[in-house]
Amino acid sequence: MKKNPLIIIISAILLIASACKSSDEGFRTINPEVLKDKIAGGWAGKMVGVTYGAPTEFRARGTIFEDSITWKPADIEGSKWQDDIYVQLTFLMSMDKYGIDAPSKKFQEMFAKAGYGLWHANMQARKNYYDSIFAPLSGTPEYNIHADDIDFQIEADYIGFMCPGMPGTALSIADKTGRIMNYGEGVYGGVFVAALYAEAYFEKDIPKIIDKALLSIPSESDYYKIVKDVIKLHEHYPSDWRAAWKELEEKWGDVDICGAGVPFNIDAKLNGAYIVMGLLYGEGDPMKTLEISTRCGQDSDCNPSNALAVLGVINGFSGLPKEMQDGVKALGDTLFIFTTYSFNTAVESTVKYAKELIVKDGGSVSDKEIRIKIQEPVAPQYENSFPNTVYDKRVSVFDKEGFTFRGKWKPWEITGIDQKKIKQSIVASNAGDEMEFRFSGTGVSLVGNWYADGGKADVYVDGQLHRSIDTYYNFARQQHTETIWHVMNLQPGEHVVKLVVKGEKRPEAEGTNVYLTSAVVFKTEAKKNESRVFSFEKQ
């Protein structure tokens, strides 16, 4: 029997409206199957988005990615190897083992002991754990120069997924896990993304979702300001995202402590702006959203992953394109590396925790209806990781500018891709070997190698012991060139940093070596973006 298409459309609209609605009693209601469908849509969006953008990651740094992008549903298999997913599944595993209210140290412990590789703020948080620096200190600017990086932003999705219409609950969870690896803008990135999902359960209008999510972060923050700039640019260039991108890049492109002095930008706020740009200019179309958030560049697998996950929550798994649904279903029971979770079990677990949180926060759950107590978003207190700190210069140890070495320091060579030997670092291992670096500024980081034979050293600033450091690193088969020590917020002027090798090591280390490659100098002044205005704002 044929049915009138108009009647079918009207019936579908009424069903959606009745399945996800607000009441006059301070509660919202949602059908349990709709909740599950939206959670599945969020996880699927992560999987599709991260694999769509993966081949482009950091291939466009400070430029628009203009090469062709090819993607097919079979590519979704690559999501099982992506840190965007396996890190936060470790946090779910922590909740499974220690409970939903487990202390942050337990989350940090499982994350640190997982067998997968980590980078930037996450890697520093793992190193901090093994150096007995635990959350929340592990994410602070004092102990993590990557405090403003993207790490928590790409792994806070599970929080938003399990907090439907509950931005306050999302904030409380984010404040605990986000401080394992981040602080300030870095934490706000995760809070904002989680808030996007929380708001997307009961709102389909993308600009409204973004506006509401902004209420969960401080208006003084650069993260808030850059998202507001994207909104302003979208209003001025409603059909030209490339023009908007160019204006945004001119104002914000060089505001990054981690990538200071290079076009590489792993900063949470710039990459978060690309999420918002994809959502606004994508206009709800999954493929258009993916393409724009990917072509914006920089960490261009993470940003489309977040953007499509928002659409996944808005429309549910059943509302994603069929080819995406089929591609995810084909991997439904495949485990993500180093986790006990697959897509199917991640969805089930997230549904379970969402229901627990709903009841805990004053709602109720039945087989037919879930009632969620309405929460109004409240922003946390503003904190600034690196106030008015800007990059000045990088000095190689082979340039000798400002460097003085005493003792048995010698060059350390590595083999390049052309099989030629390259002087990468200088190294010393004997107690009393010293390095002195003189600079003018308000901050400095010493860059060296975290290796399996890394040893310990004391670092002095202007004659006072600042901190003892341990340069051993051999976790998940990773060894890195990394900031081994830093200090910020010094008084402007001349300073002297002295590093003294201790000739000591932790039991598992293979040696007492301390490697140095360069020093990065910072100064304090108003950041350039604060004085920049868009072309259409100029008089």
pLDDT digits (tens, 9 = 90+) for 157-193: 999 999 999 999 999 999 999 999 999 999 999 999 9
pLDDT(23) > 70: no
DSSP bridge pairs for 423: 413
pLDDT digits (tens, 9 = 90+) for 204-248: 999 999 999 999 999 999 999 999 999 999 999 999 999 999 999
Among the listed residues 409, 64, 124, the one whose alpha carbon sits nearest the alpha carbon of residue 249: 64
Instruction: Name the more confident of 413 and 84.
Output: 84
Task: Check residue 22 and give its pLDDT.
Answer: 57
Q: Which domains, ranges and CATH numbers included, belong to the chain?
A: 5-373 (1.10.4080.10), 390-528 (2.60.120.260)
pLDDT(476) > 70: yes
Query: Residue holding tokens 């946090």?
Result: 91
% of the chain exceeding 90 in pLDDT:
88
Q: In what order do the strands lie in the sheet with 403-406?
A: 403-406, 434-440, 494-501, 456-461, 464-470
Length of the chain: 539
Q: Assign 480 to helix, strand or coil.
A: strand
Average pLDDT over residues 27-54: 98
pLDDT digits (tens, 9 = 90+) for 428-447: 999 999 999 999 999 999 99
When the pLDDT of each residue in the chain is averaged and rounded to a whole number, the result is 94
pLDDT-derived band at 10 (thresholds 50, 70, 90) equals: very low
pLDDT(257) > 80: yes
Distance CA 162, CA 88 (A): 13
Q: What angle do CA 445, 268, 80 make, to 5 degrees?
A: 105
Q: Assign 205 to helix, strand or coil.
A: coil
pLDDT(8) > 60: no
Continuous segment of H or E residues that includes residue 389: strand 389-396
pLDDT digits (tens, 9 = 90+) for 346-378: 999 999 999 999 999 999 999 999 999 999 999
DSSP bridge pairs for 523: 390
**Cβ neighbour number for residue 159 with a 10 Å cutoff:** 31
pLDDT-derived band at 111 (thresholds 50, 70, 90) equals: very high
pLDDT(12) > 70: no
pLDDT(1) > 70: no
Continuous segment of H or E residues that includes residue 515: strand 514-516
Distance CA 459, CA 519 (A): 13
Among the listed residues 161, 197, 202, 156, the one whose alpha carbon sits nearest the alpha carbon of residue 175: 156
Task: Check residue 24 and give its pLDDT.
Answer: 57
Q: In what order do the strands lie in the sheet with 514-516?
A: 410-415, 421-428, 514-516
Distance CA 208, CA 206 (A): 5
pTM over 0.85: yes
pLDDT-derived band at 108 (thresholds 50, 70, 90) equals: very high
